[in-house]
Amino acid sequence: MPLLTQLQIQVLLANGRRRTRGHDLDLVPVVKLFTPDASATWLLTELDTEDPDIAFGLCDLGLGAPELGTVRLSELAAVRGPLGQPVERDRYFKATEPLTAYVRRARRRGRIDE
């Protein structure tokens, strides 16, 4: 299964274009990626319009310190957890709040938790 659907790519790029135009937005996460055999999770809101391999969002490597930042999708595609499972897209994830709400909760709890 690909990390992102075509629709998600379109929305993530549109969000990236809005940010590039100078809009200061509190975007709703478009996709949740995770490692099924580890504790890493990514909530992504946009793709870089110059380099769509770079995504921005809330990144949690399972070390108790989730942070906002960028990640290369090609690198995520190559990640394997301790049991050899690849990063997956949560097909059932539906964001209910803007990213800042997830950030506040994740920083308080030390992990991304819906």
Q: Where are the domains of the chain?
A: 6-109
State percent of the chain over pLDDT 70: 99
DSSP 62: S
Residue-wise pLDDT for 18-70, tens only, equals: 988 887 789 999 999 999 999 999 999 999 999 999 999 999 999 999 999 99
- Please determine, for residue 91, whether its predicted confidence score (pLDDT) is greater than 90: yes
Mean pLDDT of the chain: 95
SS3 label, residue 67? strand
pLDDT of residue 19: 87
Rounded to whole angstroms, the Cα distance separating 17 from 54 reads: 13
Mean pLDDT of all residues in 2-10: 96
Q: What pTM value is reported for the model?
A: 0.94
Sheet holding 54-60, edge to edge: 67-72, 54-60, 41-47, 31-34, 88-89
